[in-house]
Amino acid sequence: MERRQPVDLQERLCRMAAQLAGLSGMIMVNLGDHRLARSFFRTGRTAADETGDRALRAWVIAREALVPLYYGDPREALNLAKKSRDLAGQTPCAAQAMAPVVEARALAMMSGSGKKDVVDQAKRALSRARAAFSQMTAADQDDSTFGYTERQLYFHQGDALVKLGQAMEADLILEQALTKYGPTDWLDPTFIKFDRAQCKILEGDVDEALEIAQRTISGLDDACRPDILMQRAHEVGKQVEVRAPGHPKLKIYMESLRSRSTSTEDPVADRSGT
């Protein structure tokens, strides 16, 4: 990269740099290192800008939007999602479907559940995502890293609907999402199971919620408990405490979380996560 290269080779090198930096950023998100994730995504953006490829530039930004989405700044996630959507424009690509899904998830986090205007706005974003997904190439629909797969679409739709308080619809979509993952996939399916536990809480079935969450955390090896996942497990416990303080199974569940050491030895075997 530091030497003069023919224009076509320079573009290919920048494209590869953007993809590798974006992939590294994704892995850092899963590992819980959001600062290093930011650094990689900045590198990815710089390299992608050099290619002039709007779809690639939009992909990097859509992936970067997951950093603030998972680490407490949904407003920034919304801004990045809109920037990604604008860059993608009318070009059928992964970001054209990913960006509105991130937008819907950020809206739900910012405004809480049950507000009709927010629900309608988020559902319109999800509808745009489904329409964009149908226009993607088969290759992009099969690529969980640089594309956007059907199972990711189901998972992310369900996650948005949970946060919007649409428990029944969310649970149906999340149940469908689980059927699309294989036995070696674990990160996304674990998120999905915790989302389903939250659906049960919204429906008032705290016993079932705790049973799902307990079974989920017990089924994970020590190497499969990154911080980003354990945060979701603790969210379930906090929601149960609000709905049913002093529930006898809650104490057992929270103790099981504290007794499980969070290890990051190899928590990113499934890079489709988040």
Computed over every residue of the chain, the mean pLDDT equals: 90
SS3 217: helix
Question: Of 125, 141, 143, 142, nearest to 133 (Cα)?
Answer: 141
d(CA 207, CA 184): 28
Residue 185 pLDDT > 70, yes or no? yes
pTM exceeds 0.85 for this model: yes
Angle between helices 227-243 and 206-218 (to 10 degrees): 160
Q: How confident is the model over 36-47, as a mean pLDDT?
A: 98
Answer yes or no: are the C-beta atoms of 1 and 13 closer than 8 Å. Answer: yes
Four-CA torsion 16, 21, 22, 25, nearest 10 degrees: 160
Angle between helices 187-202 and 227-243 (to 10 degrees): 10
Q: Which residues, including other chains, have CB under 8 Å from residue 19's CB and lie 6 or more apart?
A: 44, 56, 146
Tell me, what's the pLDDT at 2? 75
Tell me, what's the pLDDT at 114? 60
| Burial of residue 182 (number of CB atoms within 10 Å: 0-12, 13-18, 19+) | exposed
Residue 107 pLDDT > 80, yes or no? yes
pLDDT band of residue 261 (cuts 50, 70, 90) is: very low
d(CA 108, CA 161): 8
Question: Of 107, 156, 163, nearest to 129 (Cα)?
Answer: 156
pLDDT band of residue 113 (cuts 50, 70, 90) is: low
Residue 259 pLDDT > 80, yes or no? no
CA atoms within 13 A on the CB side of 245: 1
